[in-house]
Amino acid sequence: MIIDEQADFRSLLMHHITSHWPDAIISAYDPSVAGHLPDEFSGAGNDLILLGSCHGEDRDGIDALKRFVGKEKFPPVVYFGEPADKDAVRELAPEGHFYRDDINHDALIVRLSDLLRSKRLVATTDSLFVGDMRTGIDPLIKGYRLIRKLGATEHSGVYLAERQSTNMPVVLKVLRQMSQYGDSIGAFDRFLQEYETIAEITHPNIVKIYDLGVADDHAHIAMEYLDGGDLRQRITEGIPEQDAISYLRQIASALSAVHAHGVLHRDLKPANIMVRKDGSIALIDFGLAKRAKLENEISDKGEIFGTPYYMSPEQGHGNAVDVRSDIYSLGIIFYEMLTGDKPYRAETAMGIIYKHAQAPIPLLPARLARYQMLMNLLLAKAPADRLQSAAEVEEWL
């Protein structure tokens, strides 16, 4: 449960949480609108209370914190305050403390994870498997020989592997299901959904899926090994203008296919776009993709997903999203491919989200002025003012 009067701050915390736990169920409470929670509030039904310092003119955060900390059977409280609060916060000793204008994502997730584990887990030998995808305990996947680990999260690992029957290099994404963790069931289902999402789509600019395997304690996806690096690396090196146009065409074509299958990507960014040695690109990582009936807008009010640098204004503020949100992300990537820089920067994720909604559409350098009209159509603040589909992007080009 998130308690704070500022909607943007609540959305920011939701982003931090759902980017790590996409299946988290979050209730947001605005005390200035709904009224202050009574002293009898027990926090029942919540694993954690994230308490901000803004509660309206007649009550401050420290007063609210005093009412919650130390209550018997009350959920752990993590407080987000101002530097001026630090002495009072130290005295009250909530289970976690962050400055609201300087939240480090990794530090926040580590602290919340620790609190959840202390609340949920029984100290058994099995609990040593937490994070085993990170610690080097490699799984045994029948029919594949693991070559090296490419990356890992709390529940999944990504490996370069070789299919033993053909000696073909593949990427294996492996998720371990651990029943003692309450969110692993949702992660397991989400993993299978990701496979189903991609496997239904045959397109030259979407990663190829070769195999799905499911066992009692894990699942794996075998997919195409894309050995040309990602678009993020190409942007760092500098992308020639004509290559940027070619990549834009290919990404738009892939998005057309994705949207035609009733799916939004919702996390389109250079790190999720791989480049093959032949110069073609492929979309990967549909972990935040959402199936939808595209004749209706998707309503995810109160939740935001994705990466702040590439989020549409409506996505960043937790409002309803549809295919035009992916179009906006495509525009951000196009700008970055042309210029080598991100259009909006700020010291905090919240600041970036604000600029997406309020800052003017960036102007391209004079040498790239021929693309300004397209940029305006991709990055319009209101979805109705944008190009309405990826197919329209292709047509415009």
DSSP letter, residue 362 = P
Task: Say whether 1 sits in a helix, a strand or coil.
Answer: coil
Q: Find out whether 180 and 126 touch, Cβ atoms under 8 Å.
A: yes
- Tell me, rounded to whole angstroms, the distance of Cα 27 from its chain centroid: 19
Neighbouring C-beta atoms of residue 335, cutoff 10 Å: 23
Clarify whether 267 is annotated catalytic. yes
Q: Give the integer Cα–Cα distance in Å for 150 and 169.
A: 13
Spot the catalytic one: 267, 300, 322, 326: 267
Q: Give the integer Cα–Cα distance in Å for 21 and 282.
A: 26
Q: Find out whether 63 and 94 touch, Cβ atoms under 8 Å.
A: no
Q: Which residue in this structure is represented by tokens 């990055």?
A: 379
Task: Say whether 358 sits in a helix, a strand or coil.
Answer: helix
Instruction: Please name which of 144, 180, 176, 149 lies closest in space to residue 162, comparing C-alpha atoms.
Output: 144
For the chain, state the CA radius of gyration.
Answer: 23
Both structure tokens of 114? 């620790």
Q: Which residue in this structure is represented by tokens 């942007």?
A: 235
The amino acid sitting at 35 is G
Sequence-distant (≥ 6) Cβ neighbours of residue 90 within 8 angstroms = none
Both structure tokens of 78? 């993590």
Task: Report, as residue numbers or ranges, the catalytic residues.
Answer: 267
